[in-house]
Amino acid sequence: MPSLRSTVESVAIQVAMGLPEQVQRVLLRRPVVVDGLALATELQLMLRLRDLVRRPESQELPVEQGRDELVEESALVGGRQPVGAVRDLSVDGQTGPLAARLYIPSSRLGAEPAPTLMFLHGGGWVYGDLDSHDAVCRFLAEQSGVQVLAVDYRRAPEDAFPAAAEDAIAAYRWLVAHAQDVDADPARLAVGGDSAGGNLSAVVAIAAAREGLPLTFQLLVYPATDFSRRTRSRDLFGHGFFLTDEFMDQCTDWYVPNVADRTDPRASPLLESDLPAGIAPAHVVTAGFDPLRDEGEAYADLLAEHGVEVTRVRYASMIHGFFNIVGVGREATAYNREIAGVLRDALQRQGERH
């Protein structure tokens, strides 16, 4: 059951982010402009409300409590999203079965093989699970007409690097081998995720190319790609815009405690010096006010330099985490609808080729 605080906060966010933008601007008085970019008014208001209710940062709490906090916070902005059907199942991980959830869009109900995205959630390899990204998976499936198979990989600090990467690759191998079990079209398989999940999706796409596994498309939403260097965007946006320096430092220390591992391409795909041929086309999404912005865009550059078909978009007014905002406001939801459209079109084109 939601707490009283969450109920009150949910109503406040829905009302505030539903106000006309002109009213929101009056309430805020002045815009936030950094690096020549203007923060979306609705997100400025959301961050102000978050400060007012003094919502704790996940890294300030015991791990399990921090995980619960992220699920609760995601529900505040995710809302209740319709979808055709949801099916809980398990897939193979590197060391044992992993919990997974299949989201079937209304347009795909039935047994006909459907385009399918294996989705890997964000959360710094420490936080996040099937529930924290339930709303966005529902939204993505329904808006794109693509099945979404969300996979719950092992997390740090209980299981440090390379556990999550190994699980992600093993889960994708399972999907290829068991496509028929989930009514997936083997010719229209994609992998994607946000933040840590974008990192793992990039790792899966490289492994799939090396192993000759079919993969049509990779959707990388503000992916983390390099543990070894500090970027200008991290200096600019490491405080005040949801994703903080402290959170990133903690997650780094827990996921890759061995400093030498931080240059391993399975942790930092931007440092991959031997990209294989045949990497699937990628769509790389970044946010203007995101500390991870520059490394995500650098990874798009790396792929393009190696002949990979890449499209990219920077949503200049957005913050890290906007991908979860599908139940309140206008601007972030509209951008997420665009992302779903890119996924739909990419797998539809592949279907037409076959």
Which pLDDT score, from 0 to 100, does residue 56 have?
A: 78
- In angstroms, rounded to a whole number, what is the distance separating the alpha carbons of residues 109 and 239? 44
- Residue type for position 258: N
**Total tally of structural domains belonging to the chain:** 1
H helices of 123-225, in order, are: 134-144, 163-177, 196-211
Which pLDDT score, from 0 to 100, does residue 4 have?
A: 53
- Is 259 part of a structural domain of the chain? yes
- Is 127 part of a structural domain of the chain? yes
- Is 1 part of a structural domain of the chain? no
249 carries an active-site annotation: no
86: β partners: 103
- 3 state DSSP class of 39: coil
* Residue 128, both tokens: 């996040």
- Is 134 part of a structural domain of the chain? yes
Which pLDDT score, from 0 to 100, does residue 352 have?
A: 62
Residues in the chain with pLDDT values less than 50: 1
Which pLDDT score, from 0 to 100, does residue 5 have?
A: 64
- Is 280 part of a structural domain of the chain? yes
- Is 167 part of a structural domain of the chain? yes
- Is 67 part of a structural domain of the chain? no
**Among 74, 144, 195, 201, which one carries the catalytic annotation?**
195
Give all strands (DSSP E) within the chain, no chain letters: 33-34, 37-38, 85-92, 97-104, 114-120, 147-151, 184-194, 217-221, 282-287, 310-315
- 3 state DSSP class of 287: strand
Which pLDDT score, from 0 to 100, does residue 351 have?
A: 58
User: In CATH, what number is assigned to the domain containing residue 208?
Assistant: 3.40.50.1820
195 carries an active-site annotation: yes
- In angstroms, rounded to a whole number, what is the distance separating the alpha carbons of residues 137 and 82? 10
Strands 217-221 and 184-194: parallel
- In angstroms, rounded to a whole number, what is the distance separating the alpha carbons of residues 147 and 114? 7
Residue with tokens 């290829």: 176
Over the range 180-196, which residues count as b (16 or more CB within 10 Å of their CB) and which as e? Answer: eebbbbbebbbbbbbbb
**Among 132, 290, 294, 317, which one carries the catalytic annotation?**
290
- Is 32 part of a structural domain of the chain? no
Instruction: Give the model confidence (pLDDT) of 101-144 as tens digits.
Output: 999 999 987 778 999 999 999 999 999 999 999 999 999 999 99
- In angstroms, rounded to a whole number, what is the distance separating the alpha carbons of residues 263 and 259? 8
**Domain membership of residue 158 as a residue range:** 81-353
320 carries an active-site annotation: yes
